[in-house]
Structure formats: structure tokens, C-alpha cells
Structure 1
Amino acid sequence: MKSLRRAGADVLFGLFVVAYMVTAFYLVEYLQRSYSRDVAAERTHYLSQQLALVRSRLEGMVTSEIFLANGLVSYIFVSPDSTPEQWQPLAKQIAASAPHIRNIAVAPNNVVSFVFPKVGNEKALGLDYDDHPHQLRTIEQARKAKRIFVAGPLELVQGGMGVIARMPIFTDPPENTRYWGVASVVLDWSSLVLDAGALDFPEGIQLAMRGVDGTGEHGTVFYGSLDTFQAPLVTENVHLISGNWQLAIKADDAAISSFSGSNYQVLRISGYSVALLVFISIVVMLNAYRNAQRYSYEDVLTKLGNRRRIIQVLERLIRRHSKFAIVNIDLNEFKMVNDSFGHPVGDALLIEVARRLESSLRSYDTIARVGGDEFLLVLPRVTRRHDLDIIGEKIREQVCSTPFEYKGLSLPVSLSIGFSAYPEDGEDMEELLHRADSAMYQDKHRHHRRQA
């Protein structure tokens, strides 16, 4: 019975351990996922702000410098007969105020007659755009739209990449039917990218731009990789004077932990550490409770049940009106063993007798040590005197047939046994115990007479 109870307790404890581990794992991982989402949201917000700043700077620099250059167009409109020598001071002033302007060119009737700065751009003088279709295309778009057209970014003949603003010049506003020519302003793309902060993103964050000639999301990629636009983290649109560019950023998996720093796994590590400490605390408390329960119902020496345990079993059986028998067992000549060989030998004898008694019982029988050398057995579903006599003989055979061996000593083992049955011998516990005790003492007297 005790082994069954212990097995049941072990099963329950195992189920508790599994349930605790599953719950702890789910809770820690849930908190970790929540933390990761917060980190990702914080990271996305930070990157969104950074991308918005890049977009704002690009918009501001491109638009402001084109409008600065448009001052030359306004001058030519007012003075269509002015000469390149008159354009030179204004162009110089514009270039000094716009750090990204590489050059300004003016082409009456689409033939370049003025370029600033002249140094390094001499070959552009006399260039007829009508003979260069790839340039004429954007000039025609500006002329037909009758407004500034932003072309590029594109590869420049003189090297590098640039953004070209085509500014058509008409002499009959607001009708704008008399086309005078075009002014072109080239902005250096590399310096625009640098000053906009496009190179300042954390490692692992990919930036890409598309929309050559202001075609936005439908245009070709001119910076970064097309893959960045596949499920991007954030996108922004750079609004130009004509059209727009689309910006996008994307983070690779390594960038998440890199961006978050070493604190990324802190919650998971802390969570499992706390869960482990709580589990250890629970196990310690359960073990303490289990030991307290065990010691309150267990004989310290023999590890059998004690009087409290056997009383509990008897009360339950009587309350249920279950038939059972009580067997009261006492060791014969035990005091002589203690007096002659010492208490260690007596204790060892009690432990051995307890082991032999326990091995002779059924799994659902109960045994307890209720006194110094006195044991009590409760046998459910046994009440007939004949059966009790057979059980008594079996117990004597099991316990007494082999002498007790201890450190060179060999001592015979003898028992006195008494029975009582419920309800035949009594209907309350006191009476049953008294009857069994009396029967046991009668057997002990018989033993003494035999010895005499």
C-alpha cells in the first residue's frame, strides 16, 4: 500500500514538473516575444525617423539649389538679349550658395553657349542637344510640360553621377509658346547622398532608392538593391519639383540583435533563471512538507508506519464499515537482547523483524510499529478465525525461521501474536485493539510456559 501511495505521489510530482516546465517555457517565451516586438518597434521607429530625415534633406537640398539656379532663368526671361558675360556673375553667386551644384549650362535654341564653371567643362560649349537624343529627351519633357524637369540620377559624361534639372526658358509668359532655350543645372549625387545622411544607417540596414527621372515606385533602382523593396521595413517618397523618388530600408536578421545590443537576450536569460529558482524553491518546500508528513506518520527506526498512521487506517475502515482484522505482534525476549547485547543490536533486530514482516504482507495490508518491540497489522477483508490462524503461521514462518545474524551474533527470533476481527470482535477501535492485545499476551504466556 505504501509503495502504491509513493508511486502515485511520484506520478503527481512528475506531472507537476512537466506542467511547470511547459508553463514556464510558454510564459518566458511569450514575454521574450513581447520584448522582441517592443525592440523591433523601437528600432523601426528609430530607423523611420532616420529615413525621414534622409528624405527631408534630399528634398530640401535638391529643391532649394534648383530654385537658386532658377534665378538665372528669371534673369534671362527678363533680359532675353543678355550675354554670357552678364550671366557669369549671377551663376558664380548661385554656385557659391549651392555646394552641390557641379555646373550650370545655358543653351539658347538648345545649343550650349554658356557653362559655369568653365574650367573642366570647355567641351560642353557649342554642344547641340538636338544631336544628343538621350539628353534631348529630358529637355523636351521640360519644354512640353513648360516647367522644370528633374532628370536622373544618371551617369555623367565627365564622370560620377548627377541629378540634372532641365529648366525651359520662354519669353511670353504665361502662354509660354515662344521657346527660347534651356538652362541645365547638374547636382553632384555623391555629395547629396553623403550630406543627406544616407551612409549613417547602422550595419545590417540596407538602403535603396528608385525612380529615375522622378518615376517613383515604378522607376528603376539607382541606389542600393532591388531586393530591399521586397517587404521593406520602412519606405519614404522624396517629392521633387517633377515626380518623386522612393526610398526604402530593410534589416537583415543579424541587424536585429546588433541594433538591440547585448540586452536582447536579457529577458529570456532572466526569465529562465527566475523560473529555475522558483522551481528549486517549490521542490525544497514540497520535500520539506513531504518529510514532515512522512515523519508524522512514520517510525524513525524501522521506516514503517507509526501508531498515528495505523489509527488513521483503522478509523477509515470503521467509518466505511469494511471488514478487517487486527494482528498484534510482540517480540519475545526483546528486553534480554537489549540488556545482554546493547541497544544497537536491539535496534538492528527491530529493523530486520520489520523488514521480514513487511515482506510477508499483501500490497494493501498495513503495518506499523506501535511500541518498543510491538507491531500492529491491519488486514482488510480478513475476518475468519481459520484464515487468521493461517496468516499467523505464515508470519511466524517468515520472521522466525531464520536466526537474526549481526556482527557475528546469531539470535533466534520469536513472536507472540494476537488477533481481533471487525465487526465480530468489536465495533469500535478501542475494543478491537484491546481484544488483539489480550490475545497477544495470552500467546506470550503460552510461550513463557513452553520456555519454562
Structure 2
Amino acid sequence: MKKQQYIVSIIIFIVYMLAVIQATDIIVGLLKEREQTKQNERLREVVSLAKSKLEAELFRDVFLADSLATVITIDPQIAIENWTSLGKKLMGKSTHVRNVGIAPNDVILLNYPPKGNEKAIGLDFRTVPKQYRTVLKARQLQDVFLSGPLELVQGGMAVIARFPVFNDYPQNKDYWGSISVVIDYQSLMRVSGFSALSNAPIAIRGVDAEGDNGEVFFGDKQIFQNADFTTSINIPNGEWIVGAQFDRGVPLNLSRQLLALRIGLISLGLLIFAAVFALWRSYRVVRRFAHEDELTGLYNRRYTMNHLNQLTAGSYKRQSFAVLNIDLNGFKAVNDIYGHEAGDQLLKLVANEILNGVRMTDVVARVGGDEFIVIMHRVKHEDSAQRLADCLRQKIEHRVLHWGTATIQPSLSIGVAVFNASEHTVKDVLIRADEAMYRDKAQQRTS
């Protein structure tokens, strides 16, 4: 029974710790998931804020350039004559405009500021197919068209706003030429906040305002293959698309905190188990005085009688069991010759050997000074019980106790009785086992 209790205790501990570890995993997982959700929401907020700033910055400069286009539409000649003043005013009010040029009949006539843009004067857009395509697009839309971002010949990247100018506004049949406003791409991305996100899993596509069909110009294009969310940046007569992936990783600081939490929760679980186990052990210590023999640790007479009464009552009544009454021969002589300490050690030896020689489900008790009882459950025939008793006797009598220079060999007398609910009571089976034990003792004396 003690072996069984020991194994059950180990199983309970293992199951309990598995439950603690599983609960810890769930708690840590929930906290990790919550933190990742916060990170993802922060990323959404950062992207949304940068998107809003970029739209505001871009539309402000485009609006200023649109005012210039309106002036030129009203009177192109006066605009040309006052070009330096107009260009200077536009550059003074804008934030990201690098230069602006006008191209009557799609041939660049003037640029502001002129310094650094001298080579562009006289450029016929029709000889540069890539640029001319965007000029034609603006003319077809009869409205501003945003091309790029693209690399400039003079260095750097820019977004170019193309404005068509017509002599017969609003009919827009008589095409005069175009205005090109070069907007600094790096400045635009820096002020909007996207430059600060260059290392984040964010990308932007939509060169020449083509949205999903446009090329990627910011970040890694692979992001769009598994983007967790996308949003559009509204630009004049088109859009750019922002794609972002959530960071599945956990910050190092949080990872350390979660590890500390995991260790803390498991430690708490161990402390709780230790506290409960300590209470259980206290209970066992108290119970031991009532149900266990102090010397051998076996059950005592009180527990044995209670257990036998339970076996013969209620749902147990139909079960059969055998009782072995075991007496240690010559025990008084051992006490007299070698002393009570030697006698105690012999009792412990016999008790352990009996306990190790029976099944885990059997009950072993010390019910007197040198008398033991074994209750063997589910044994129906006396022959079977006798064979078990003979095996137990042979096993124990082959063991010896070394005491100083002396060798003490135990000798047993065993009586066997099988309980049958239709024929016997507990008292009857105990009497029969006791009688059988004395017969065995007498037989050993005469043999």
C-alpha cells in the first residue's frame, strides 16, 4: 500500500507540474499576444500618421504649383515676363519644391532657380519618351499628374507634378504646353516620417500614381507578398499603396520579463505544491500515530480491523480475500540474548521483507509484538493463499540479520484463512487464521 501511495504521489506531482507548466504557457502566451497586438496597433498608428503627413505635405506644394499654373493659363506671356518673380514666390512658400519649369509646346523654356538647371533649357519632352508619357498623361487628364518617384539626372530622387496649360480654358482644346514642378522626394519622406521607418517591415508602391500596379519605390517588395495590412496614400489623380508586415518577434526586454514571469509562476506552483505536500505530510504524521506502527511503519491493529470491516460491508461484501497470520518464532530469545535493539532490527527486517514480498494492493500490518497480518485482496482459494504464504516464508527465512559477530536468522509460523461472505465473518476468519498459525508453529516444533 505504501508503494502504491508513493507511486500515486509521484504521478500527482507530475500531472500537477504539467498543469502548472501548461497554465504558465497559456498566461505567457496571452501576454505575448497582447504585447504583439499593441506593437501591431502602434505600427498601424505610425503608418497612418506618416500617411496623413505625406498627403498634407504633398497636396500643399501641389496646390501652390496649381496656383502658378492658373496664372500662366490666364496670360502665358505675362507669366513668362515675370517668371523670376513667380518662381521665387512659389519656392518661398513651398516646403519641398526643388525647381519649377515651363515648357511651351512641351519644350522647356524657363526654369527656376536657373542655377543648376541650365542644361534642361531647350529640352524637348517629345525626345524623352519616359518623361513625355507623363506629360501626355497630364494633357489627357486635363489636370495635374504626379510622376515618379524617379532618379533625377542632376542627382537625387523627386516626384514631378505635371500641369497641362490650355489657351482656351475651360474647353481645353487649344494646348499651350506644360509646367513641371520637381518635389524633393527625400525631404517629403523625411518630414512625413517614412524615412524613420526605413528599417521597419514597410514598403510603398505605385510609381507614376499607378497604385497596386506601380513599382515599389520604398522598402522591400517582398513585403507585399505577405502584407498583414495595406492602406492607400491619396495623391493627385492616383494613389500610392503602403504595405506592412507585423513583427512576430518579441523585444529583448519583454522576452526577459516573460522568462522571469515563467520562472516565477513555475516556482510559485512548486511552492504551492510544497505547502500542500507539507500539510499532507503533517496529516500523515498525525494519522500515523492512529493507524501505523511506530517501529516498522506498517499499519497497526486499529487500521487492520477498520479495513477488514470495510471489506465485509456494503459494496465490498461480495469480494473474497485471504488473511495471513504471521508470527516470528523465537523472538523472546532474541530480545533476551541480544537485547531489545536487536529485536527491533529483526522486526524491521521481517516487516520490510513481508512488504516487499506481497502485491502493492495487499495490506501488511503489525498487530502485536512479533505478530503480523497480511490481507491479500481478491484471493478466493486457500490453496492459492497457502502457496503465497510458502513463497513469503521461504523468502524471509533466507534473509539474516547481522548483529555484531552474531547472525540472526528469522523463522516464521504462518496461518492462512480465506474469507467467504456466505460462510464467515471477520471474527471467524481471524480465529481460523490464528488457529492455522498455531498448528504451523506446533508442526515446526515436532519436525
TM range (shorter): 0.7 to 0.9
Q: Which residue of 2 is the match for residue 348 of structure 1?
A: 345
Change (3 A) 1:348 1:91: same
1:289-308 aligned at under 5 Å gives the runs 296-308=290-302
Cα RMSD over matched residues?
4.3
Q: Is the 8 A contact 1:325 1:381 kept in 2?
A: no
Q: Is the 8 A contact 2:382 2:418 kept in 1?
A: yes
Give the deviation of 1:32 after TM superposition: 3.1
Distance 1:410 1:259 in 2: 68
Range with bigger deviation, 78-87 or 426-435: 426-435
Q: Which residue of 2 is the match for residue 28 of structure 1?
A: 24
Corresponding residue to 2:181 among 181, 185, 188: 185
Q: Which residue of 2 is the match for residue 309 of structure 1?
A: 303
Corresponding residue to 2:123 among 102, 121, 127: 127
Corresponding residue to 2:226 among 223, 231, 254: 231
1:66-105 aligned at under 5 Å gives the runs 66-105=62-101
- One-letter code aligned to 2:365: A
Q: TM-score, normalised by structure 1?
A: 0.79
* 1:226-276 CA distance string (max 9 Å, x none): 10111113322111112111112235555x435956445455444444444
Give the deviation of 1:345 after TM superposition: 2.7
Change (3 A) 1:353 1:41: closer
Give the deviation of 1:329 after TM superposition: 3.5
Range with bigger deviation, 217-226 or 306-315: 306-315
The question of 1:249 aligning with 2:244 is answered: yes
Change (3 A) 1:66 1:261: farther
Distance 1:109 1:403 in 2: 122
Q: SS in structure 1 opposite 2:217?
A: strand
Change (3 A) 1:31 1:202: farther
Give the deviation of 1:196 after TM superposition: 1.3
Q: Which residue of 1 is the match for residue 190 of structure 2?
A: 194
Q: SS in structure 2 opposite 1:68?
A: helix
Q: SS in structure 1 opposite 2:77?
A: coil
Give the deviation of 1:111 after TM superposition: 2.4
Give the deviation of 1:142 after TM superposition: 1.1
Q: Which residue of 2 is the match for residue 58 of structure 1?
A: 54
Distance 1:355 1:268 in 2: 43
Give the deviation of 1:159 after TM superposition: 1.4
**Percent identity of equivalent pairs:** 32
Corresponding residue to 2:140 among 128, 140, 144: 144
1:345-384 aligned at under 5 Å gives the runs 345-354=342-351, 367-376=364-373
The question of 1:48 aligning with 2:61 is answered: no
Q: Is the 8 A contact 2:326 2:412 kept in 1?
A: no
Q: Is the 8 A contact 2:323 2:433 kept in 1?
A: no
Q: Which residue of 1 is the match for residue 404 of structure 2?
A: 407
Distance 1:127 1:262 in 2: 62
Q: TM-score, normalised by structure 2?
A: 0.80
* 1:30-52 CA distance string (max 9 Å, x none): 33332232222211110111111
* 1:307-353 CA distance string (max 9 Å, x none): 1232134324544375756737376572x754665432332243345
Q: Is the 8 A contact 1:239 1:245 kept in 2?
A: yes
Distance 1:312 1:208 in 2: 79
Change (3 A) 1:309 1:156: same
The question of 1:207 aligning with 2:216 is answered: no
Q: SS in structure 1 opposite 2:212?
A: helix
Q: Is the 8 A contact 1:170 1:179 kept in 2?
A: yes
* 1:404-440 CA distance string (max 9 Å, x none): 652134678788888988789x965567767877998
List runs of 5+ in structure 2 lacking aligned partners.
Answer: none
Q: SS in structure 1 opposite 2:63?
A: helix
Q: SS in structure 1 opposite 2:226?
A: coil
Q: Is the 8 A contact 1:210 1:246 kept in 2?
A: yes
- One-letter code aligned to 1:348: Q
Give the deviation of 1:101 after TM superposition: 0.7
Q: Is the 8 A contact 1:77 1:169 kept in 2?
A: yes
Give the deviation of 1:87 after TM superposition: 2.4
- One-letter code aligned to 2:325: V
Change (3 A) 1:215 1:265: farther
Q: Is the 8 A contact 2:144 2:237 kept in 1?
A: yes
Distance 1:245 1:176 in 2: 28
The question of 1:169 aligning with 2:169 is answered: no
- One-letter code aligned to 1:124: A
* 1:55-90 CA distance string (max 9 Å, x none): 112111111101112222222223233153412222
Q: Which residue of 1 is the match for residue 211 of structure 2?
A: 216
Distance 2:107 2:359 in 1: 117
Q: Which residue of 2 is the match for residue 327 of structure 1?
A: 325
Distance 2:98 2:133 in 1: 21
Range with bigger deviation, 266-275 or 373-382: 373-382
Q: Is the 8 A contact 2:139 2:164 kept in 1?
A: yes
